[in-house]
Structure formats: C-alpha cells, structure tokens
C-alpha cells in the first residue's frame, strides 16, 4: 500500500517511521507540510517525495491512501479532499474540531457509498483495553454501571489551554468508553477542583468530566495534565457482579534501601507504542482486503459532539445534553 502523509510534525514523523519499518505491506511515497523544511527532513529517511501542498499529495496518482497528522483545524478540509478523490484516509484525532465539519464528512462518505475514513483512536488497539472489552462482551462483570477514569500527563506546554483537557486529552476516554460500553453519551458536566500551582496561570487544571450514557451508566474522568510524576492512564469499569481494571504497563518491582517500587511510564509515546503499531498494521491490512474496519467517521463525529458539549459545560457550569442525531445505518 503506497501512502502519502500530510503533517510531518511529532506524530507524523512517528507514523512515517512506523509505516516504513514495523508495519508490513506499507510504503510512504510522499509527504507534505506547510513547513517544507520539516517535510523534507521527514521524507529523506523514508525515501519519500515532498509534495508542496496537501491537495497535490492527495492528487498524486502513486498515493493509494492518505494519513492526516496535521493540526486539528486542518483535518476536516483534508479528509473531505481525500473522500472527493475516493482515497482511504487515516486521520489522527480529533477528526474535526467542530461537530458541523464532522457532519459534512459523514455526508460525503455516505454519498461515496463505502467507508474511506478511519480515526486515530489508538486505545482500541491497546492490549489492556482490548482485554477489558473482552470481559465486558462476555458478560464477565454483568451490566456495566459506572466507570472511573484518570488521564494524567506530567506537564503540558504553555500553548495548552483550558478547552484542551476535553478536546485533546479526554477525547481518548470519550472514544474508548463509547466503544467499551457500546452506547452513546447523553450528557456531560465538568467539575473543577482547586487548580494545581504547577501549571501555566491561564490553565484550569485538573478538571473532572462527569458523563452519563443513554442507559444511565455514569463515567467520571479526571484530567490532570500537570501531575508531575508521570503519564498515568487509569480505567475501572464497575458492573453488577464485579469490576474490571486496566492493567498498568508491566514493570519490575524493585526492592532496595528499605523500599519496594515500580517505575511509572513518563510519556504517551512509550505507554501506547504497541497500540500505535497494531493500529496502523490493522489499518493497512484492512485496506488491502477491503475497507477500513477501525474507528469510523461516526466515531470521530460522536466524540467531537461530546467534547464540544464538555467545553460548553465547563464554561457555563451546567449539565449539557449531548445532541447527537440518530446513527446512520451506513455506520451500524
């Protein structure tokens, strides 16, 4: 599968490296970025061409499928251009920053008649989350009633602002809990504890999302992006007859100097490295045998509707309904 990639920033470079190395059956033949020097630096080790614009890359006859790793606000136009060209597109999260743009993608893909879009919600490919999904699907803890989640980053740069905990960070829990519980969210509220002193002054941190699903299950997500001590992802689902908890990454227990300790992972590239590998391999495999099978444009749209509602909930201090239209039969 000959791939073109748009947006050669941090994750774009990681995905070029993966697609040129670990992932079998894939080759990156072209890249593009609004920063041509950056594009050239990422293209060189992969032996890829640099295309001057995203439009030129999508139109390149050698490019069979596209990866979009540009900034969130650029995703919608680039994904729509891929659909117009009839080319499969893997788009990093978020699919769109505005829900209205997500609707345009759903309409365009349905008009095309078959799935082209996959969204980069890589937690669905993490071994621990997949094990939780298997327990839930086989009824191992009965009907799920609650989930308690924490999403902690050690620090964030100054550019990270107070909507980002929802739009950039908790979007992962929003997607993975929709997938684990097999239903949509109906409402969201944001509760704000005292802020940490270890943050840029403009940022509200931590924040707690309180979500309710259509059937009345409750999910709480603590988003704490300046926790200092590491990159820590926690998830426990409580059902009628038991609970299931996301395992921490395997790490040796060290006993020395009167203490027993295990290291905490420091960043998301290490925590989810295997999930990123599996995600891109399964995407390439699905394209070679048909159409993408991972998180769909509907999943990307639904997540954005929830994050948009969460932003409003924090700003207004109210419980905000998640205004989701009926899921089209195309995405069932």
CB closer to ligand NAD out of 122 and 217:
122
Specify the residue, 34 or 135, whose C-beta has the smaller distance to ligand NAD.
34
Nearer to ligand ISE, 96 or 169 (CB): 169
**9 is an interface residue for ligand NAD by CB under 6 A:** yes
Q: Which residue is nearest to ligand NAD (CB)?
A: 9
Whether omega for the bond prior to residue 94 falls within 30 degrees of 0, making it cis, is yes
Q: H helices of the chain, where?
A: 10-20, 36-46, 54-59, 72-84, 99-112, 127-137, 164, 171-181, 268-271, 273-289, 297-316
Closest CB to ligand ISE: residue number: 169
Q: In the structure encoding, which two tokens stand for residue 74, read together?
A: 């650029």
Binding residues among 20-49 for ligand NAD as defined by CB under 6 A: 32-35, 38
Positions in the binding site for ligand ISE (CB under 6 A): 153, 168-169, 172, 225, 268
Closer to ligand ISE by Cβ: residue 225 or 305: 225
Footprint of ligand NAD on 80-139 (CB under 6 A): 92-93, 120, 122
What is the contact mask toward ligand NAD in residues 160 to 189, using x (rule: CB under 6 A)?
--------x---------------------
d(C-alpha 162, C-alpha 205), whole Å: 8
Tell me how far apart the alpha carbons of residues 216 and 85 are, in angstroms, rounded to a whole number. 41
- Give the nearer residue to ligand ISE in terms of CB position, either 60 or 92: 92
DSSP 169: I
Q: Which is closer to ligand NAD, CB of 58 or CB of 186?
A: 58
Among 3, 5, 11, 29, binds ligand NAD (CB under 6 A): 11
> Which option in ligand ISE, ligand NAD, none does residue 281 bind, with CB closer than 5 to 8 A by kind?
none
SS3 state of residue 158: coil
User: Hey, which residues between 273 and 302 contact ligand NAD (CB under 6 A)?
Assistant: none
Closest CA to 136 of 125, 121, 146, 126: 146
Question: What are the structure tokens assigned to 214, written together?
Answer: 């259509």
Binding mask 255-274 for ligand NAD (x = CB under 6 A): -------------x------
CA dist., res. 280 & res. 290, Å (int):
15
- CA 121, chain centre distance (Å): 3
**Nearest residue (CB) to ligand NAD, 217 versus 225:** 225
Q: Cβ of residue 165: shortest distance to ligand ISE, in angstroms? A: 8
Long-range contacts formed by 313-319: CB under 8 A, 24+ apart:
313/188, 313/189, 313/190, 314/162, 314/163, 314/166, 314/190, 314/192, 314/204, 314/207, 318/189, 319/187, 319/188, 319/189
Closer to ligand NAD by CB, 73 or 142: give it: 73
Q: How far is the CB of 307 from ligand ISE (least distance, A)?
A: 12
Main-chain phi, psi angles of 276, to 5 degrees: -60, -40
Shortest distance (Å) from residue 92 CB to ligand ISE:
8
Structure tokens at 25: 């059956």
- Partner from ligand ISE, ligand NAD, none binding residue 71, C-beta < 5-8 Å depending on class: ligand NAD
Q: Which residues form the interface with ligand NAD (CB under 6 A)? A: 6-12, 32-35, 38, 54, 69-72, 74, 92-93, 120, 122, 168, 268
């Amino acid at each position: 599968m000959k791939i073109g990639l748009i947006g050669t920033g941090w994750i774009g470079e990681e995905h070029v490296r993966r697609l040129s190395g670990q992932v079998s059956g894939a080759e990156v033949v072209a890249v593009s970025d609004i920063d041509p020097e950056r594009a050239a630096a990422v293209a060189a080790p992969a032996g890829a061409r640099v295309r001057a614009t995203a439009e030129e890359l999508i139109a390149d006859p050698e490019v069979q499928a596209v990866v979009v790793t540009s900034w969130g606000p650029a995703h919608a136009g680039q994904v729509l251009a891929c659909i117009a060209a009839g080319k499969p597109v893997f788009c990093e999260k978020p699919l769109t920053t505005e829900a209205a743009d997500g609707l345009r993608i759903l309409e365009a893909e349905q008009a095309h008649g078959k799935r082209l879009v996959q969204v980069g919600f890589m937690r669905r490919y993490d071994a621990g989350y997949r094990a939780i999904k298997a327990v839930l699907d086989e009824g191992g803890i009965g009907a799920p009633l609650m989930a308690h989640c924490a999403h902690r980053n050690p620090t964030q740069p100054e550019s990270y602002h107070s909507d980002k905990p929802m739009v950039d960070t908790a979007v992962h829990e929003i997607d993975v809990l929709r997938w684990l519980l097999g239903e949509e969210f109906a409402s969201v509220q944001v509760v704000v504890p005292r802020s940490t002193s270890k943050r840029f002054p403009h940022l509200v941190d931590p924040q707690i999302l309180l979500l309710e699903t259509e059937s009345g299950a409750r999910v709480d997500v603590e988003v704490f992006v300046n926790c200092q001590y590491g990159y820590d992802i926690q998830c426990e689902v409580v059902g009628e007859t038991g609970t299931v908890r996301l395992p921490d990454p395997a790490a040796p227990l060290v006993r020395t100097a009167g203490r027993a300790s295990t290291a905490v992972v420091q960043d998301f590239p290490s925590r989810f490295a295997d999930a990123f590998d599996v995600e891109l391999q399964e995407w390439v495999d699905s394209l070679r045998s048909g159409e993408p099978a991972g998180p769909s444009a509907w999943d990307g749209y639904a997540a954005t509707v929830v994050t948009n509602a969460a932003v409003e909930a924090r700003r207004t201090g109210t419980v905000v309904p998640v205004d989701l239209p009926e899921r089209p039969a195309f995405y069932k």
